[in-house]
Structure 1
C-alpha cells in the first residue's frame, strides 16, 4: 500500500459491490421461500409414503440445508465488504488529514512518504524551528494510515478467497462450515463474555483488524480495559478513556443530587433534642458514597496527569505508568503498573490489604509499587544484568476496612483470589517472547487473597510468592501454595500487630481468634507464615514498632531495614541472595 493508491482509492466501489451482494442475498432468500412453499411443503403434505418417498424427503431436507447455507455465505460476503469499506474509508481519512496537516505546516510529502521542508528562516515557506518534530509525527500518522489500509486489504482478500473456495468446492453448502463462518463473524462483532479463558481472549483480540480493535476500545472501553487476555498497552488506552467517563459520571450524579436538605426537622425528640431529617440522611449517604469514589478516581487521574510526586507516572514518565484496570464495582477497582508487564522480564504484582481504597492507589500505593520497581532494577544492575521490570499494584477486590469484622472473614479473599488468578493468567497469555519471571506479593490481608488464588485449578501462574505482614494465607504449609516451599518468601516485623496472632487480651468473636490462641503457630487465617511450621523462606526485615511496622515492608517510612532490598532481589529473580532471618 502506498500514498497514491490509498489517496486515490474510490471507496464507493466497495460499497457498490456490497450493495450488489445484499441484493443477491435478498433475492436468493425470496427464492428459498418460494422453493420451500412450492416444493418442500407441497411434498410434505402430499401423503406420499414408501421407500421412494423417504429418499425424496431426505434429499429435499438436505437440499434445504444447502440452500440456507448458501444464503448465509452470501450474507457473510456482504458484511465482509461493508467492513472493508468502513476500514478503507477510515484509513483514507487518516491519510488525508495527515497530508493536510503537513501542507499547513509547510512540509512537502513525497510519493514514497519522505518529508522535506524549507529550513531558511528568511524564506516565506520556512517551516519553523519545530519542523522536524512535526514531520516525525506526521510521518508516523501516514505510516499508520497505510498500515490500516494494508491490513484491511489483506483481511478482505483472505475472506473473499475463503468464501470463493467454499463456493467452488461445495463446502459453502455444508452446515458445519457455515456454523464456523458464523462463529468467526460473531467473534468480530462481540466481546468475549466475562470468565472467558484469557488465552482465548488473546486469540480473539489478535484476530481483529486495527479498525475493529479501535472501535471496541472507543465503544466499550470499560469492557476492553478490564478484560484479562487483552494486551496491557491496549488495556491502558481503554482504561484511560473509561476513567474520564467514570469521573464525569460521578460529577453528574453529584450535581443531580440537588441541594443539601436541612439536617434537622423542626420538631424535637422526647428528650427535647434535635431530630435528624430522613431526607438529609438519605442525601448524605448517597453524596458521601459518590464523593468517595470521585475522589479516588480523581486521585488516579492526577497521578496519570503527572500532578503527584513531581510528575512520576505522568506523560513521558520513565518508567511509564499503565492503567490496567479501573471500575466502580463495590468499593472500586484499580490496577496500575510501572512498566509494561507484557514486555518486562521480571513482573511483580502486589495485592494490598486492610484499609486499601481507590484514593490510595493514586497516591501512596502507586509510590509503593514504584519503590518495588526501583529495588528490583537495582538488584538486576547489582547482578550486572539489564533491568527489565514491571511492578503492578492490584486492587481488584474489596479490601477489608476498619468499619467492621470483614478482616476476620475470608469471603473477600475468596472473591479476590479468583479475580487475581485470572488477572495473572491474563498476563501470562499476553506476554511477548520468553515467559516472564513473575512474583505474586501479598501484604496484610492481601496475602490471604494470594493464598486463595493459589488454590484454583492449575494453581497461580507465578514463580515466586512474597508474603509480608501476613495474618495467614488459608493454608498450613508453604508447600500447599503450589510452587514449592523454597519459592515462598515471608517477611514479618517483630512488632507487627496484624501479623502477630491475637493474644487473649485481643479477643475478637470468631473462630480465627480462638484457633490462633490455641495453636502456638496459629495466625488469624491459618498457620503463621513466619513460623517454622509453615516452612517458608524467612527474610530479614526491621523490627519496627506497634504503630509503624505494618506499613514499613516497602520502605514507606524508610525504616524497613532489609525488607525492600530483599523484595527487590526476589522480584529480579535473585531470591537466593536475600538476607535471611530465622523463623519464629
Structure 2
C-alpha cells in the first residue's frame, strides 16, 4: 500500500459492490422462499409415496439446506464488503488528516513518503524551528495509516478468498462450513464477557481490524475499558470516554439531589434524627467524593507529558459502590519494568489522587535507580483500585473477605499485563500497602500471580506462614515497616495465636529473642525473620503512611526493586 493508492482510492466502489451483493442476496432469498413454497412444501403435502418418493423428498430436503447455506454465504460476502468500506475509509481519513497537517506546517510529502521542508528563516515557506519534530510525527501517522490500510486489505482479501473458495468448490453449501463461518462472524462482533481469559481476549482483539476496534471502543467503552487482555492504549481511549460520561452523570445527580431534608423530625419522645436527611447527606458525600476522584484522574490524564510528568493511562474505571479506577504512569505494554500498586483500607475512587502520586514517585525512583546504573530501561507503575477495599479499620479491615473477593480480579489483571506486553517480557512487581498486602497475599497464595517481585509494606499479614508460600522466589519477596508504624499491633484473633503473641510481646519488652511465630490479624508477621523475606530499610520516624515520602530510604529502595536492581 502506498500514499497515492490510498489517497486516491474510491471507497464508493466498495460500497457499490456491497449494495450489489445485498440486492443479489435479497433476490436469491426470494427465490429460495418461492422454491420452498412451490416445490418443497407442495411435495411434502402430496400423497406420493414409495421408494422413489423417499429418494426425491430426501434430495429436496438436502437441496433446501444447501440453498439456505448459499443464502447465508452471500450475506457473509456483503458483510465483508461493508467492513472493507469502513476500514479503508478510516485509513484514508487518517492519511488525509496527516497530509493536511503536513501542508499546514509547510512540509512537503513526496509520493514515497519522504518529507522535506524549507530551512531558510527568511523564506516565506520557512517551516519553523520545530519542523523536524513535526515531520517525524507526521511521518509516523502516514506510516500508521498505510499499515492500517494494508492490514485491512489483507484481512478483507482473506475473508473474500475464503468465501469465493467455498462457492467454487461447493463447501459453501455445507451446513457445517456455514456454521464455522457464522461463528467467525459472531466472534468479530461479540465482545468477550468479563472474566474471559485475558490471552483469549488479546487473541480476539488482534483478530479485529482497526475500524472494528474503534467501533467497539466508541459503542461499548465501559466494557472494552475494563476488559483484561485489551492493550493499554485501547483501554485508555475507552475509559476516557467513560470518565467524561461519568463526570457528567455524577454532576447531574448532584444537581438533581433535591433540597436538604430537615435534620430532625418529631418523635414520640421529642425531636429525633431524620433518616431521610442522613441518607441525603450520605448520598451527596458519595457523589461529590466520586466526582472529586474523577476530576483528579482527568487532571492527571490531561497533564502535559514531560520528564517530571510521564504520560498516564486509564486502564479501568467505574462508579459502582465506592468506585474503582486503575491508572498507569507510563505505558505498561511497552515498559521494561512494570509495577502494580495495591492500596489498602480506605482505597476507593474518591481517594485515588494520593495513590496516583505514589505511583508517580515510584516511577521517578525507579528511573533514578536505572539512571545511576546507566540503564536505559523504562518503568510503568499502576495504581490498582480494582477491588472493593475495606473502608474502616474496625470492623471492615478485620475481615479477610475483601481480600478473598479480590483474588480473581487481581489475577486476571496481572495475567492481562503479561498478555498485552510487547516484546521481551517485562520485570513485573506487585507492591501493596497495609490491607492491600493481605489482598495481594491471598491472590498469590490462592491463584498465583505472574510477577517477579513482591513488596509488602506495613502488612497486617498476607495469609501465609512463609514467603515461599506466596509462589515467588523468597529472595524476591520484600517487606517494610516503619519504627513508629503500629500495624504490628493488629492482633491475631484466634486464641492460640493470641497466647503466642502475648509471650512474644513480653519477650520483646524484656529483650528476649522474638518468638518466630508472632501472628497478626491476617497471618504471620512478615517482618519476623523466619518469614523469610528481605527487609526494606526505612527512615527513623516512619509511620503508616510515610513510606512514599520524597527522598525517603524506603521510596529509594522500592524504586530499585521495581527497576530490577535488587
**Shorter chain as normaliser: what TM range?**
0.7 to 0.9
| Offset at residue 453 of structure 1 (A) | 1.4
Q: How far apart are the structure 1 equivalents of 2:380 and 2:311?
A: 10
More displaced 10-residue stretch of structure 1: 134-143 or 213-222? 134-143
Query: Which residue of structure 1 aligns with residue 313 of structure 2?
Result: 322
| Offset at residue 558 of structure 1 (A) | 5.3
- Aligned pair in 2 of structure 1 residues 272, 427: CA closer, same or farther (>3 Å)? same
Which of the numbers 472, 488, 504 marks the counterpart of 1:483?
A: 472
Whether the aligned pair in 2 keeps the contact of 1:95 and 1:141 (CA below 8 Å) is yes
- Unpaired segments ≥5 residues, structure 2: 502-517
3-state SS of 2:430 partner: strand
3-state SS of 2:559 partner: helix
**Cα deviation digits, residues 275-302 of structure 1 (max 9, x gap):** 5555544433322211110011111112
Whether the aligned pair in 2 keeps the contact of 1:95 and 1:145 (CA below 8 Å) is yes
Q: Where do 1:101-120 residues align within 5 Å?
A: 101-103=101-103, 107-116=107-116
Whether the aligned pair in 2 keeps the contact of 1:264 and 1:277 (CA below 8 Å) is yes
Whether the aligned pair in 2 keeps the contact of 1:418 and 1:452 (CA below 8 Å) is no
Q: CA RMSD in A?
A: 3.0
3-state SS of 1:551 partner: coil
| Offset at residue 450 of structure 1 (A) | 1.0
| Offset at residue 568 of structure 1 (A) | 3.2
Whether the aligned pair in 1 keeps the contact of 2:478 and 2:536 (CA below 8 Å) is no
Q: Where do 1:229-378 residues align within 5 Å?
A: 229-258=229-258, 260-264=259-263, 269=267, 273=271, 279-306=276-303, 314=305, 319-362=310-353, 364-378=354-368
| Offset at residue 30 of structure 1 (A) | 1.9
Q: How far apart are the structure 1 equivalents of 2:415 and 2:130?
A: 45
Query: Which residue of structure 2 aligns with residue 427 of structure 1?
Result: 417
Query: Which residue of structure 2 aligns with residue 556 of structure 1?
Result: 549
Which of the numbers 555, 558, 570 marks the counterpart of 2:561?
A: 570
Whether the aligned pair in 1 keeps the contact of 2:25 and 2:74 (CA below 8 Å) is yes
3-state SS of 1:326 partner: strand
- Aligned pair in 2 of structure 1 residues 479, 123: CA closer, same or farther (>3 Å)? closer
Q: Where do 1:428-467 residues align within 5 Å?
A: 428-457=418-447, 459-467=448-456
**Cα deviation digits, residues 302-345 of structure 1 (max 9, x gap):** 22233xxxx7xx46755322222222122111112222222222
Q: How far apart are the structure 2 equivalents of 1:115 and 1:369?
A: 39
| Offset at residue 248 of structure 1 (A) | 1.9
Indicate yes or no: 2:532 matched with 1:539. no
More displaced 10-residue stretch of structure 1: 163-172 or 316-325? 316-325
3-state SS of 1:402 partner: coil
Query: Which residue of structure 2 aligns with residue 221 of structure 1?
Result: 221
Whether the aligned pair in 2 keeps the contact of 1:442 and 1:468 (CA below 8 Å) is yes
| Offset at residue 242 of structure 1 (A) | 2.2
| Offset at residue 484 of structure 1 (A) | 4.1
**Cα deviation digits, residues 487-524 of structure 1 (max 9, x gap):** 43332345432233428xxxxxxxx3646414432211
| Offset at residue 212 of structure 1 (A) | 1.6
Whether the aligned pair in 1 keeps the contact of 2:323 and 2:350 (CA below 8 Å) is no
Q: How far apart are the structure 2 equivalents of 1:139 and 1:538?
A: 49
3-state SS of 1:570 partner: helix
For normalisation by structure 2, the TM-score amounts to 0.87
| Offset at residue 430 of structure 1 (A) | 0.7
- Aligned pair in 2 of structure 1 residues 186, 468: CA closer, same or farther (>3 Å)? same
Whether the aligned pair in 1 keeps the contact of 2:397 and 2:435 (CA below 8 Å) is yes
Q: How far apart are the structure 2 equivalents of 1:144 and 1:573?
A: 33
Which of the numbers 449, 459, 466 marks the counterpart of 1:470?
A: 459
Whether the aligned pair in 2 keeps the contact of 1:444 and 1:499 (CA below 8 Å) is no
Q: Where do 1:203-222 residues align within 5 Å?
A: 203-222=203-222
Whether the aligned pair in 1 keeps the contact of 2:345 and 2:392 (CA below 8 Å) is yes
**Cα deviation digits, residues 549-577 of structure 1 (max 9, x gap):** 2223x332655x4x3344334333344xx
| Offset at residue 126 of structure 1 (A) | 5.7
Query: Which residue of structure 2 aligns with residue 394 of structure 1?
Result: 384
- Aligned residue-pair number: 550
Q: How far apart are the structure 2 equivalents of 1:463 and 1:81?
A: 46
More displaced 10-residue stretch of structure 1: 279-288 or 77-86? 279-288
3-state SS of 2:341 partner: strand
Q: How far apart are the structure 2 equivalents of 1:147 and 1:67?
A: 39
- Aligned pair in 2 of structure 1 residues 268, 404: CA closer, same or farther (>3 Å)? same
- Aligned pair in 2 of structure 1 residues 279, 418: CA closer, same or farther (>3 Å)? same
For normalisation by structure 1, the TM-score amounts to 0.85
Q: How far apart are the structure 1 equivalents of 2:550 and 2:545?
A: 8
- Aligned pair in 2 of structure 1 residues 118, 467: CA closer, same or farther (>3 Å)? closer
Whether the aligned pair in 1 keeps the contact of 2:480 and 2:538 (CA below 8 Å) is no
Query: Which residue of structure 2 aligns with residue 201 of structure 1?
Result: 201
Query: Which residue of structure 2 aligns with residue 498 of structure 1?
Result: 487
More displaced 10-residue stretch of structure 1: 104-113 or 406-415? 104-113
3-state SS of 1:397 partner: coil
| Offset at residue 90 of structure 1 (A) | 2.9
